[in-house]
Every structure is written in structure tokens, then in C-alpha cells.
Amino acid sequence: MIFDSIRKEIEIQGQKIVLVEMDALNFTHMLSMKDESEAIFFLIAHSVESPKVDIEALKTFPSSVVNELTKECIAINGLSAEGNLPTGKSN
């Protein structure tokens, strides 16, 4: 591949997690999602490279962990917390 995805290792509650920037296809799909909470779970599931986690498992994580993962995934994918995630609302 001509371009490498950004990778970052983080630690949450003693667990090492490797994040990777999403590919353009998944990124575009996430931005088109109407349900913001589902878009956030999609963002995390497609940004966590190791250990792999699916959306249903994410929904059982403590909210503090999901909040931290969301913050880190927003950063690695070049999003801002204000306005770049789908909200289902039109401006």
C-alpha cells in the first residue's frame, strides 16, 4: 500500500490496546450513519486493532472505558468531538 494507517498503543485500566486509523470505506460508512451511538460503536470497533472487539461486546463495557476509547478513536481518525460524528440532525 502506498499509505500507511496511523497506529497508536494506549492503556485503559491496565489493558494495552492498539488503535488503527480506519480505512476510507469504513470512515465514509460511519459518517453516513444516522444513529450517533451506533456510529460511535462502529468507530471504536473498526479502530481497535488489538485485541479485536465487536460492537456487541463494546456495548457491555463500562461507560468510562467506552468514553476513553471514543476520545482516542476520534483523535486517531482526525475527527473532532464537535460536529464531525453523525448526529441524525440536520443543520
Q: What is the DSSP string of 20-49?
A: EPPPHHHHHHHHH-S-HHHHHHHHHHHHEE
pLDDT at 88 over 90: no
pLDDT at 85 over 60: no
**Whole-prediction pTM value?**
0.84
Mean pLDDT of 4-9: 96
Residue 80 has a pLDDT of 75
Rounded to an integer, what is the distance from CA 75 to the centroid of its chain? 9
Mean pLDDT of the residues in the chain:
90
Q: pLDDT category, 82, cuts 50, 70, 90?
A: low
